[in-house]
Each structure stands twice: as C-alpha cells, then as structure tokens.
Amino acid sequence: MRISGVGCCLIDSIYKNCSYNASNFSPYWSKTKGDGGLIEGGLVFREDLEKFAGEQYHKILDSITQGRKADFINVGGPAIIALVHASQILFDDDVEINFYGALGNDEFAAITKAKVKPTNVNTSFKIIKGIPTSTTDVFADSSRRNGKGERTFVNTIGAAGYFNSNHLTEYFYKSDIVLLGGTALVPQIHNDIDSILKRAKETGAITVVGTVYDFANEKINPNKPWSLGKNPAYPYIDLLITDEIEALRLSGRQTITEAASALGSYGVGSLIITRGAHDILFWSKGKLFGDHDLKSFHVNTEIDVLMEADPLLRRDTTGCGDNFVGGVLVSLARQLSGSVDDDILDIFDVCAWGVSSGGFACTYNGGMYHEKMIGEKAALIEPLVHTYKENYGVT
C-alpha cells in the first residue's frame, strides 16, 4: 500500500489567548469579501493584509500580538500533517507514505526537516534557494464558537509558490491513494490540480482532496464560487473533504445542504463536510462508498469529556481539520489493504477515524503530534475510535 501526497507544508507560529474583540485586532478585520483584511476562521495572504492596512506586516504583527512572541512553533499544513498522522497510526502496517513539496533553505526549513524526520513519511522537498519557507501566523481565540475556539490565519506563501506539477515524479502517480491537501497555498499545484488528479486516476489511484481557505480565488472575484483547477477537477475526486465555510465558497451557495448538493452535482464521488464542533456531513454517489444521501455523523464527544475532566488537556484547534484528513487516510489504507470483503468501503469507519483524529488534535499545540516513542499516538487514539463506534452502535 502506497500513499503519496502533495500540497501545503509550512511552519505555524501559534499565538494563543487572543481576543478578536480587542482594540488591537479591530483595524485589521475584513470589511468586504476579498479586501485583504483578517477573516475569522479564514486565511489571508501577508501581502494583501499589508495593502489592506497600509502598513508593513512586521508592524501589523507587533500591533496584533502586542509585541509578544508566538506561544508555539510547529509544522503545519493540510498535506504534511495528514500524512504524518497517518504514518503515526499505521506504523505497524505495510504502508509506504510519501510527501512532495517545497522548502526554502532557511531556519524554518531545518526545523521542518528535523520535526518530520522521526516519522515514517518519506519526504521529497524541492529546496528553493533565496526564498523563505512557507509560514502561517495563527491567532487563536479560545472564547469563540461557544468556547470551542477559533483561529484566523496570515500566510506567507514563500517557497510553496515555486513548486509545480513538473516536480512530481512518476512514482508519485503510481500510488494506491493520492492526496492533494491545501493546494490553495501552493498556487501552481492548485492551478494544475485537475490535470494532476486526472493522471492519478488514470494510473488507478484513489484520489482524496482536502481543501483550505482559498484567499487567492476569494480576492479575484468575491461573488463567484472558487475555482478548483484551470478545468474543473471535481470529476477526478473520489473523496472531497472540506469545512463548512470552504464548501459554501466552493459552491457559491447560501446553506450547507445546498452546498453539498451542488458539489455532488459537480462530479465528486463522495464528500465530507466538517463543521467544527458540530456534526459532520457525508454524501456519496460513487463506487468507493456506494450511494448515500446526505447524512450526518457525530463528532467524538469522548474527547470533550476527557478535556472537561482535565482542563489542562485542552490546547488549541490548530490542525484539527488536517488530522481529520489523516484519520480518513488511516481508514482507507486499512480497508483497501484487505479488511473488507467487497469493493464498497465502510464510511462509518472512515468518519470514526476522522472525527477521533481531528478531535484529539485539540489536546496538543499545533497540527503535528511529536511522539516520544513509535506507536504512542496510535495507542491514544485507537481507544477513542473504539468508544465512538460503541457509542453509535458499531462494535
């Protein structure tokens, strides 16, 4: 079994205990779609925020943070984090995991390599000399969403802007599962996402796409749906994983049910929409999972129980969606490796691993969990998956 992924890999600088209502944030909030101002739950590019505010970013950052340093620095990104998570859970399975992306030749590149090296992810980094490694400043307000927390992001594309489909090898395409994660932060890959997915399908791969807030498309035309590739990529996607805001923007619809219906009509084989602490939504009209009308699955509330019993376990929500995708990859890999009797995969198992992996990310800072020993994360998450299945009627 081979899983290969391409897309977003960066360094997250996480600022905890922010207050979005504070005066130091108020000048920087977006006024209209695509204007470059901060978006609660969304992402903007550093250069656009500078134009919006009329200030250089170092001054904006100093104002927002009141001069304090980041609380934590960690590896982030919807592609690399999903693959790292899958590698940590599948450590004892016969699964090869590969990541393709770009780094600068700076300190953050060295940090990224050092943090990913202990995992079983094989990395193929294109080093872009003279260009900084991609970074995101994450401002977290734990009071939002009824105490579940929210984040706003400022991204510097850096080296990711120089990575393109020509850097992907034939070995990448000859995979059982191909993941494209957060490609909106890797512009040339995002532009070619349709052709990359088409080629992966032609070689027999199952294709999974995890989205991220696409500010580049948002600012081009704020009132039109975001595009996904030069030509529509949807017919080549076996499973699309997106959050609620992104689903609405991709579809151009006003409600989540309308968005799910629209995305299904675009040709995706199946669809998962995450909604923070609320139930996730699933739809399928493809051979991978069979036919399913839109249905909801609970999040894993066992994690809330654990954090309520020990408040010190609650850290931040950064990386929850990325780890959700990683949990999905775990389930797909195990099912495709021969644990199912037919061609129709178990969507409940996929969602159980997704919600448990995503929820567990609330118990540590940033997207990547740093194991003290191999198998540590698997030992912590597998009981959560088992309890989830027991709670909702599947043993």
Residue 392's pLDDT band (cuts 50, 70, 90): confident
Residues 6+ apart with CB under 8 A from 185: 7, 8, 10, 43, 77, 134, 155, 157, 160, 212
Asked whether the predicted pLDDT for residue 339 surpasses 70, the reply is no
Within 10 Å of residue 339's Cβ, how many Cβ atoms?
Answer: 12
pLDDT at 394: 59
Asked whether the predicted pLDDT for residue 175 surpasses 80, the reply is yes
Across residues 268-274, what is the average pLDDT? Answer: 97
CA distances (Å), origin 42, targets 36, 98, 333, 347 = 11, 28, 30, 28
Residue 395's pLDDT band (cuts 50, 70, 90): very low
Q: How far is residue 348's CA from residue 282's CA, in Å, rounded to a whole number? A: 10
Q: How far is residue 180's CA from residue 182's CA, in Å, rounded to a whole number? A: 7
Asked whether the predicted pLDDT for residue 321 surpasses 60, the reply is yes
Across residues 154-159, what is the average pLDDT? Answer: 97
What backbone phi and psi angles, to 5 degrees, belong to 107?
Answer: -60, -40
pLDDT at 344: 86
Across residues 61-74, what is the average pLDDT? Answer: 96
pLDDT at 71: 95
Q: How far is residue 7's CA from residue 74's CA, in Å, rounded to a whole number? A: 17
Residues 6+ apart with CB under 8 A from 161: 131, 186, 187, 188
In the chain, the percentage of residues whose pLDDT exceeds 70 is: 98
Residues 6+ apart with CB under 8 A from 339: none
pLDDT at 57: 97
Q: Which residue has the tokens 């997106």?
A: 242
Closest CA to 392 of 274, 254, 293, 299: 299
User: Average pLDDT, whole number, for the chain?
Assistant: 94
Across residues 65-91, what is the average pLDDT? Answer: 96
Q: How far is residue 387's CA from residue 356's CA, in Å, rounded to a whole number? A: 10
Q: How far is residue 282's CA from residue 241's CA, in Å, rounded to a whole number? A: 9
DSSP assignment string, 57-81: HHHHHHHHHTTPPPSEEEEE-TTHH
List the alpha helices (DSSP H) in the chain.
Answer: 46-53, 57-65, 80-89, 107-116, 144-147, 170-173, 187-191, 193-202, 215-220, 244-251, 256-265, 302-309, 320-334, 347-360, 376-391
pLDDT in tens, 203-227: 999 999 999 999 999 999 899 999 9
Range in 162-171, 192-201, 341-350 with the lowest mean pLDDT: 341-350
pTM score of the predicted model: 0.95
Residue 274's pLDDT band (cuts 50, 70, 90): very high
DSSP assignment string, 192-245: THHHHHHHHHHTT-EEEEE----HHHHHH-TTSPPP-TTTT-GGG-SEEEEEHH
Asked whether the predicted pLDDT for residue 346 surpasses 60, the reply is yes
Q: Could you tell me the residue ranges of all domains in the chain?
A: 2-11+74-145+157-391
Choice between 144 and 371, residue whose per-residue pLDDT is larger: 371
Please tell us whether the domain made up of 2-11+74-145+157-391 is placed in CATH 3.40.605.10: no
What is the SS3 assignment for 335-363? HHHHHCCCCCCCHHHHHHHHHHHHHHHHH
Range in 104-113, 119-128, 157-166, 312-321 with the lowest mean pLDDT: 312-321
pLDDT at 145: 82
Do 25 and 64 form a contact (C-beta atoms < 8 A)?
A: yes
Asked whether the predicted pLDDT for residue 342 surpasses 80, the reply is no
Residue 148's pLDDT band (cuts 50, 70, 90): confident
Across residues 248-255, what is the average pLDDT? Answer: 96
